Amino acid sequence: QVQLVESGGGLVQPGGSLRLSCAASGSIFSIAAMNWYRQALGKQRELVATIASGGRTNYADSVKGRFTVSRDNAKNTVYLQMNSLKPEDTAVYYCNAHRVVVGVGVDYWGQGTQVTVSS
């Protein structure tokens, strides 16, 4: 089992910044990738950013150049730095851990944190 606890959401004006954190605990040794998803009201959940166990990162086109995913292995924490925020970034952001054990993938989710971009 993997437990994920997110923090850092809130209300920010357009053009502002926020940093989300996701602290992982439990069986983290076999996590293949950590992901950030978001879900806006009335829309499907979408993948925003990924950081693989080897450090490779990937981003949705809509956030490239504005968002940065990183991790602190000593703290078992993944971050999502969000800059130049836009109203369309408003959503609940979820941390996800994709764990692979004996060839079987299992996903774990945090509780979500609300990000609202509004003036």
**pLDDT (average), residues 54-72:** 96
> What pLDDT, on the 0 to 100 scale, is given for residue 65?
97
The C-alpha atoms of residue 23 and residue 20 are separated, in whole angstroms, by 10
Q: HSE of 43 in the Cβ direction (CA atoms, 13 Å)?
A: 14
Give the pLDDT score at 89. 98
Smallest Cα–Cα separation from 93: which of 48, 13, 37, 51?
Answer: 37
- Which pLDDT tens digit goes with each residue over 68-92? 999 998 899 999 999 999 999 999 9
The secondary structure element, H or E, covering residue 22 is: strand 18-26
40 or 32: which leads in pLDDT: 40
Whole-number pLDDT of residue 53: 87
C-alpha 8: how far from chain center: 11
